[in-house]
Homo-oligomer: A and B are copies of this chain.
């Protein structure tokens, strides 16, 4: 029995799906990814950055925190799927582990910013892009004010970035409004379950399996 005949994969070739969970900073991408990981199996890719950890951030949880030297070595060695420099700090997506997981048929989730998502789309046109959006700017603003880590000016600046990033939604496959976290997580999980049922290509394996069975009856 070949891998593609395994009933577990429903006649599809064994290869994981790549999900990109993106959207404005503060929309709740990270929280949604971590809640999602409790409900279904996937490899959650962690970004690499040269910026310093903030508050309770831990190495290997929110990010892999590395030095500029380490980051630049990764760039030279082709170890990054995409990277960018923002406000003097590097951010990037480590490539090797993620690709190994996809190759062995495991789904991968990348949690990255809107620019990074566009780059991933170019490299993996078949990636499934999900935009996490706050219910409104007013809600996002009040969340950031409660967190109290940024000045009013910074928050104001962020809001205009959000309004600009929202214009990228038409390039995505799905959008999830993060108003109630439980509903947002349910929607993200539904997208992953539905994608497993999605008809793609000529479905030859499945059709042939039924035809062969019919002949053998």
With CB as the reference atom, state the residue of chain B lying closest to A217.
Answer: B159
With CB as the reference atom, state the residue of chain B lying closest to A184.
Answer: B197
Does A46 make an interface contact (CB < 8 A)?
no
Residue A194 contacts which of B170, B187, B209, B214 (CB distance < 8 angstroms)? B187
A166 touching B217 in the complex, CB below 8 Å, given contacts A174-B198, A174-B199, A197-B174: no
With CB as the reference atom, state the residue of chain B lying closest to A187.
Answer: B197
Using C-beta atoms within 8 Å of the partner chain, give the interface range for chain A. 35 or more
User: Which B residues are in CB contact (< 8 Å) with A133?
Assistant: 206
Number of copies of this chain that the complex holds: 2
Does A160 make an interface contact (CB < 8 A)?
yes
| A214 and B172 alpha carbons, distance in the complex (Å) | 22
Shortest CB-to-CB span from A9 to chain B, Å, is 11
| Stretch from A87-95, A102-110, A115-123, A135-143 at the B interface | A135-143
User: Which B residues are in CB contact (< 8 Å) with A203?
Assistant: 169-170, 175
Q: Which of A171-202 contact B (CB under 8 A)?
A: 172-177, 179, 186-187, 189-191, 193-199, 201-202
Let me know if B190 and A131 touch, CB within 8 A: no
Does A213 make an interface contact (CB < 8 A)?
yes
User: Which B residues are in CB contact (< 8 Å) with A176?
Assistant: 197
